[in-house]
Amino acid sequence: MTPPSYNSIIRDGLWNNNPALVQILGLCPLLAVTATVVNGFALGVATAVVLVCSNVTVSLIRGFVKPEVRIPVFVMVIASFVTAIELAMNAYFHALYNILGIFIPLIVTNCNIIARAEAFASKNTVSRSMVDGLATGIGFTLVLMALGAMREVIGRGTLLTQANLMFGESAKWMTVTVFDHYNGYLLAILPPGAFLGLGFLIALKNVIDDRLKRRVLAQQAADARPAGAV
Amino acid sequence: MIVQSMVRNAILLGIFAVLGTGMVALTHENTKSRIAENQRQALLANLHELVPPNTYNNDIIGDHITVTDQDMLGTADPVPVYRARKNGSPVAAVLTPVAPDGYNGDIKLMVAISYDGTILGVRVLAHNETPGLGDAIDISKTPWVTGFNGRSLNNPKPDKWHVKRDGGVFDQFTGATITPRAVVKAVHKCLQYYMSNRDTLFSKGEHEGKSTA
């Protein structure tokens, strides 16, 4: 089997095989923390860092870890990285850490991470695994942010509230009030809003994919016709 | 052969356990003082919202005791009482009672009371009330809790220490009476507790619990 090209790794992680939209993995944090863009971004970045670290480590040790013990080893690697990142967030982003609460340690249980370790990093080189972790992590973060943006605009009428928790006091200007004197739409903030929002995002991706496929088919048909006519 | 590979795997797992634990221990070592300082700063920021820093000059976090009174403070757990003093004389006390009868579980409060028994302010530290309805007790949503500022046991009269629906003076929220009712009751009880124990609260264990701030 030829190793996948970097291009296809990146395209898979971001779009074709997006962890949240196609594999539908890691839904628990995805649905729980996306009430605002900043929360989604913070959890996405934390997840992406864990993904890159665990993919690189798993790829490094793939030569001498026997298949029988690989799962416990992967779990230990992932759990260690998550705990370290949890401590670091508590130290450097304390307010954000308090908001995300239990969902940071729960990154351990995000099936995305062990799925990438098992399905990709344990079979590929270190650099490919790193790119895969990064692409998957960014793909996951983008969905978290998109869902967060939808729910925040509809639910609160703002964008990027509490950006200062992530980027420091100087980032307060980033908060955008989309609708003034907006009373909020409760459904979007509560869990059902997360399910509905994710459903719409998946539907949107399928519509875009469908359009692209039809365009390619039409192109092929157009290319084929003159040849057949001759 | 089987035994050999079992031993090999066990050693391998052991090595990873040691490496993983080592990494976590190292991170913990490097972040723990910062985390403790963060928690201290967060607590201090909460306290300073209620007790202005220029009104006292002691170490308010270090100068705390814990008290237990399930009936008046709403929890069987020990409740910290932070004491503000100026040049040794008592200025205010900050208690953290619990309203156990919220719509959706405990509501953790922080109540600052000046030495003479007037409420300096109330804040909700943690709650699980319905977003959009009961969460109006949170200062980031509505200024409702500032309605307690300046109140004392005789302002309003004891029979008016209720939400308006129950014949009192405190507002309730449309669609949510249980939440503000629970908070009013907890604040009132906390105030009663403070007034009947004030002198012991300020004199008890001057140096107790310094290390556990």
| A118-136 confidence digits (pLDDT tens) | 999 999 999 999 999 999 9
Instruction: Enumerate the β-bridge partners of residue B124.
Output: B109
Contact A198, A31 (CB under 8 A): yes
Q: Residue B19 and residue A80: Cβ atoms within 8 Å?
A: yes
B33-42 pLDDT tens trace:
999 998 888 8
pLDDT classification of A137: cutoffs 50, 70, 90: very high
Q: Which residues contact A165 (CB under 8 A, 6 or more apart)?
A: A38, A42, A93, A95, A96, A99
- Nearest CB among B9, B38, B132 relative to A91 is that of B38
ipTM of the complex in this document: 0.76
Task: Kindly state the percentage of chain B with pLDDT values over 90.
Answer: 46
Per-residue pLDDT tens digits for A15-71: 888 888 888 888 888 888 888 888 899 999 999 999 999 999 999 998 888 888 889
User: What is the 8-class DSSP label of residue B149?
Assistant: T
At B74-117, the pLDDT tens digits run: 989 898 999 999 998 899 999 999 999 998 889 999 999 999 99
Tokens of A89: 């967030």
Phi, psi of A84 (to 5 degrees): -65, -40
Show which residues on chain B lie within 8 Å of chain A, measured between beta carbons.
5, 8-9, 12-13, 16-17, 19-21, 23-24, 27-28, 31, 34-35, 38-39, 41-42, 131-132
* Residues of B whose CB is below 8 A from A189: 131-132
Query: Is the Cβ of A88 closer than 8 Å to some Cβ of chain B?
Result: yes
Sign of the Cα torsion B147, B151, B154, B155 reads negative
List of long-range contacts for B57-65, beta carbons under 8 Å, 24+ apart: B57/B85, B57/B86, B57/B87, B58/B83, B58/B84, B58/B85, B58/B86, B58/B88, B60/B84, B60/B94, B61/B213, B62/B210, B62/B213, B63/B206, B63/B210, B64/B208, B64/B209, B64/B213, B65/B201, B65/B204, B65/B205, B65/B208, B65/B209
| pTM of the full structure | 0.77
Contact B113, B202 (CB under 8 A): no
With CB atoms and an 8 Å threshold, state whether B20 touches A94. Answer: no
